[in-house]
Amino acid sequence: MTNFFLRTLREDPADAEVASHKLLVRAGYIRRQAPGVFAWLPLGLRVKAKIEQIVREEMAAAGAHEVHFPALLPREPYEVTGRWTEYGDALFRLQDRKGADYLLAPTHEEAFTLLVKDLYSSYKDLPLTIFQIQDKYRDEARPRAGLLRGREFTMKDAYSFDASDAGLDASYQAQRDAYERIFARLGMEYVIVKADAGAMGGSKSEEFLHPTPVGEDTFVRSAGGYAANVEAFTTVVPEAVPFDGLPEPRILPSPNTRTIATLVDLANAEYPRPDRPWTAADTLKNVVLALTHLDGTRELVVVGIPGDREIDDKRVEVAFPGTEIEPATEADFAANPGLVKGYIGPWSPAGAVLGEESTTGIRYLLDPRVVDGTEWITGANVDEQHVFGLVAGRDFTADGTAEAANVVPGDPAPDGSGPVELARGMEIGHVFQLGRKYADALGLKVLDENGKLVTVTMGSYGIGVTRILAAIAEDHHDDKGLVWPEAVAPFDVHVLATGKDQAAFDAAETIVAALEDARYDVLFDDRPKLSPGVKFADAELLGVPKIVIAGRGVADGVVEVWDRASGERTQVPIDGVVSALAG
């Protein structure tokens, strides 16, 4: 450490919110260069290399071949697939000296597709899975949490190419299995959740989420083993209820009840029902959304959801793929006087306002729970009036259903495995059946057994190397510093020579040599004139799993072996360190 390039810091960086960010900077693993852009210092680079090596080995075991693409790619292929524009501000774009457009690739579907098109032409060449470990770029609006959401980051991205759907299934499974092995070797807890595949044009998609409080994703899981992204959760549809004997709807005055809470209060005060109080779940909330389609046209839709739920931003994006969604504006309401703000409902005393028989021309989509025969309190489309006992399927209809409402703990899992809970997770891997979207767009076809040209079907598979590193740091730390698991630790052993006695330094040097002979990676704190306290504090901050302290005990022929995770310290003879660590 006298020569090693390292400086530990006593203060947390000012911009750091999460432990991994604070500690990786303080312990000298990374250093900020720009928002969301970091330099890797020697310790950080060693941990990163270990993760990459594990990924590489498991990719090889899965039969994937390593290639390496440039980060700088020409615009044209991304134009063909539409991603040049779809990526919006998140894409770093630039021009060369001749004015030709380039981008810094956020992922490489286009480039891999073109490479295979360039070189392969027959079903006999397939299946093929190729991967790279590469620095990627995304101009995040709000880079945050250090490496957890950066603008430059390292990913392993793999792409599979098959002539048949069955082939894609097998390639997908091979990558999925490799991911399970990778996370097992990294000692990382993970949940495989169904992810929405629709917007990307693919057919099947799963995310590997690492449960952690600092995760940006919310996911849904049941004790019975169901797991899904909130976007991919599908509502269990209750059975329809017969209409027989249901009373007719009643229009009732309801001043100042533009919110569900005020409506429920009024209902219980003015129109109580005998058996139990009204709740928000008895109301039908009709939310007006303005969709901007890819072609620029603007469309209003009304989504009806039970009043005890909210529109979920991510689920509503999936419900209306390829559109930008915002709440309807005052101008929208002004242009549609048929919708009475705060009192919107599918039906009014004058007849149908929304649904199949509507004359407004506005699409009306209902939460799947609003099945035929269910009764609702909802707006009467007349100012300060609601209708009570409006029956779905009898008094109003819709143009379809939409999975736009949030998922609530206790909702039944769609696979019947019981009620779900919500948890925070971080996406650490993603496996994705792209299908033929990219091959179609870029013309990747091969000859099949019968000499007929068929479009290749593809998968894409990503693992965030730098994000995984941060997640491990996040999971493995205490108030003193990092506590690396062995598989990814920058060094196996950290040897400290302490005190002023040259014998301790000599003993430490002997131990370092013996450990290196035994193929351990050793960090040797040989810095003179530093107090043991400073060296201990640095060792705890750096987080190497095993620490050997050569100090006063050397006079008696012993050193201490200190386990960073458990804190346990054991006295060991100087010549017994290697066997003590092996044991």
Cβ–Cβ < 8 Å for 207, 443? no
Draw the binding track, 43-62, toward its own copies (x: CB under 8 A; -: no contact). Answer: --x--x--------------
Tell me the window of 131-139, 184-192, 197-205, 492-500 that interacts with its own copies (CB under 8 A). 131-139
Tell me the window of 91-99, 247-255, 368-376, 407-415 that interacts with its own copies (CB under 8 A). 91-99
Shorter beta-carbon distance to its own copies: residue 16 or 318: 16
Shorter beta-carbon distance to its own copies: residue 149 or 151: 151
Sign for the pseudo-dihedral over CA of 59, 63, 66, 71: negative
Is residue 451 involved in binding its own copies (CB under 8 A)? no
Among 11, 118, 244, 479, binds its own copies (CB under 8 A): 118
Is residue 40 involved in binding its own copies (CB under 8 A)? yes
Radius of gyration of the chain from its Cα atoms, rounded to whole angstroms:
30
Tell me the window of 123-131, 362-370, 417-425, 509-517 that interacts with its own copies (CB under 8 A). 123-131
CA distance 363 to 300: 7
Tell me the window of 119-127, 206-214, 504-512, 549-557 that interacts with its own copies (CB under 8 A). 119-127
CA distance 415 to 429: 23
Is residue 333 involved in binding its own copies (CB under 8 A)? no
Tell me the window of 97-105, 174-182, 243-251, 264-272 that interacts with its own copies (CB under 8 A). 97-105
Shorter beta-carbon distance to its own copies: residue 125 or 375: 125
Pick the closest to residue 259 from 344, 374, 362, 346 (CA basis): 344
CA distance 24 to 259: 47
Among 115, 199, 565, 581, binds its own copies (CB under 8 A): 115
Write out the DSSP string of 217-277.
EEEEEETTS-EEETTT--PPPPPP---TTPPPPEEEE-TT--SHHHHHHHHHHHS--SSS-
Shorter beta-carbon distance to its own copies: residue 353 or 456: 456
Q: Provide the 3-class DSSP secondary structure of residue 567.
A: coil
Q: Restricting to residues 5-34, which ones interact with its own copies according to CB under 8 A?
A: 5, 7, 28, 31, 33-34
CA 324 vs. chain centroid, Å, equals: 21
Q: Restricting to residues 144-183, which ones interact with its own copies according to CB under 8 A?
A: 151-152
For residue 440, the surrounding DSSP H or E stretch is helix 437-442
Residue with tokens 């300060």: 384
Shorter beta-carbon distance to its own copies: residue 93 or 552: 93
Tell me the window of 41-49, 193-201, 254-262, 472-480 that interacts with its own copies (CB under 8 A). 41-49
Pick the closest to residue 232 from 303, 147, 120, 318 (CA basis): 318
Among 17, 42, 324, 513, binds its own copies (CB under 8 A): 42
Least distance from C-beta 176 to its own copies, angstroms? Answer: 19
Is residue 447 involved in binding its own copies (CB under 8 A)? no
Reading the block at residue 221, the tokens are 């899981």
Least distance from C-beta 538 to its own copies, angstroms? Answer: 14
Residue with tokens 């990913």: 155
Is residue 71 involved in binding its own copies (CB under 8 A)? yes
Q: Restricting to residues 195-234, which ones interact with its own copies according to CB under 8 A?
A: none
Sheet holding 558-563: strands in order across? 522-525, 493-497, 546-550, 558-563, 569-573
Tell me the window of 38-46, 437-445, 479-487, 512-520 that interacts with its own copies (CB under 8 A). 38-46
Shorter beta-carbon distance to its own copies: residue 447 or 581: 447
Among 67, 246, 291, 514, binds its own copies (CB under 8 A): 67
Pick the closest to residue 547 from 487, 498, 501 (CA basis): 498
Cβ–Cβ < 8 Å for 233, 408? no
Query: With contacts defined by CB under 8 A, how many residues of the chain interact with its own copies?
Result: 50
State the Cα torsion 39-43-44-46 to the nearest 10°: 120
Tell me the window of 36-44, 258-266, 298-306, 468-476 that interacts with its own copies (CB under 8 A). 36-44
CA 131 vs. chain centroid, Å, equals: 21
Cβ–Cβ < 8 Å for 246, 394? yes
Is residue 246 involved in binding its own copies (CB under 8 A)? no
Least distance from C-beta 389 to its own copies, angstroms? Answer: 51
Least distance from C-beta 66 to its own copies, angstroms? Answer: 6
Is residue 87 involved in binding its own copies (CB under 8 A)? no
Least distance from C-beta 325 to its own copies, angstroms? Answer: 21
Angle at 268 between CA 262 and CA 270, to 5 degrees: 95
CB neighbour class for 88 (10 Å; exposed up to 12, middle 13-18, buried from 19):
exposed
Shorter beta-carbon distance to its own copies: residue 33 or 570: 33
Pick the closest to residue 436 from 458, 465, 408, 460 (CA basis): 458
Q: Which residues pair with 152 in a beta bridge?
A: 137
Among 87, 120, 271, 333, binds its own copies (CB under 8 A): 120
Pick the closest to residue 482 from 116, 14, 22 (CA basis): 22
Preceding omega of 127 cis (within 30 degrees of 0): yes
Cβ–Cβ < 8 Å for 135, 154? yes
Among 11, 14, 141, 337, binds its own copies (CB under 8 A): 141
Strand pairing class (546-550; 493-497)? parallel
Tell me the window of 71-79, 200-208, 309-317, 483-491 that interacts with its own copies (CB under 8 A). 71-79
Least distance from C-beta 309 to its own copies, angstroms? Answer: 34
Among 1, 19, 21, 38, binds its own copies (CB under 8 A): 38
Contacts with its own copies, residue ranges (CB under 8 A): 3-5, 7, 28, 31, 33-34, 37-42, 45, 48, 63, 65-74, 89-90, 92-94, 96-97, 102, 104, 111, 115, 118-120, 125, 128, 130, 135, 137, 139, 141, 151-152
